[in-house]
Amino acid sequence: MQTTQPNSAIERAQENNQILTQVGPGTAMGTALRRFWIPALLSSEIAQPDSAPVRLRILGEDLVAFRDTTSKANASTSRTLFLLIITLPSFVG
């Protein structure tokens, strides 16, 4: 009579699936992916200075991208007042 072991192939596959597909803050893949640059928007997708921001979600985090009065591209998490100033290269000629 064969019994199911606690770490059967199906259970290991399900566990691996959870590790590889969860990308939120504090997860294994989320931590790994945050070490790399991930393009989220084209520079041309952010409107003119001081206009409405662009909302986006990447790696399970809500962000807001906008241009300030000096036309610099900026991004901020919706949870903090800290602004991370980023330069988004234009991929459109």
Please report the domains of the chain, with CATH numbers, ordered by start residue.
1-36 (no CATH), 38-93 (2.20.25)
Q: What's the rounded Cα separation, in Å, for the pair 1 and 44?
A: 65
d(CA 65, CA 54): 5
Which tens digit of pLDDT belongs to each residue from 57-81?
888 888 888 888 888 888 787 665 3
- Read off the pLDDT of each residue in 20-43 and give the average, rounded to a whole number: 88
pTM: 0.60
Query: In the chain, what percentage of residues exceed pLDDT 90?
Result: 8
As a whole-number percent, the residues of the chain with pLDDT over 70 amount to 75
21 C-beta neighbours (distance < 10 Å), count: 9
Confidence of residue 2 (pLDDT cuts 50, 70, 90): low
